[in-house]
Amino acid sequence: MNSFTLIAIGNLARNPELVAKGDTSYTRFMLVGNDYAGKDEEGTAREWVTSLWFVAFGPIGETLARNGRKGDQLIVEAQVRANNWTDKQGEKQYDHSFVVMGFRFGAPGKIKREEFDAAADERLDDDGELAQAEG
């Protein structure tokens, strides 16, 4: 059992990157979230921007790499894994990885919406009606 599991909701900062090394494949991606942070002196709303890197292995990672596009909203369940090491100067370094255990797509981003619109346009004839399948 992993003591730390988190749910993150954010938008892809860029297209997911699929990496294959030997028999192992994984996908790296960054989620960005914006949170309200009050108002400044002029009354303009401020935001906190938080970004986190995630890694997904195997079929989950391949699905994300194949279908995820910059701007898409993802709802991700991930486990937090400690990465501790000693650097070249002999100092202990501490970091964390967020390993995806599952995900769902939320709202599509601009790129995905444009892909959907292009696919829909291909299914329409010159009069804007659904084209009849031949056969």
Question: Of 134, 65, 132, whose CA–CA distance to 100 is shortest?
Answer: 65
Q: pTM (2 decimals)?
A: 0.77
38-52: per-residue pLDDT in tens?
999 999 999 999 999
SS3 113: helix
* Domain residue extents for the chain: 5-122
51-110 pLDDT, tens digit each? 999 999 999 999 999 999 999 999 999 999 988 989 999 999 998 899 999 999 998 888
The secondary structure of residue 28, as a DSSP letter, is E
Q: Has domain 5-122 been given CATH number 3.40.1050.10?
A: no
CB 58 within 8 A of CB 51: no
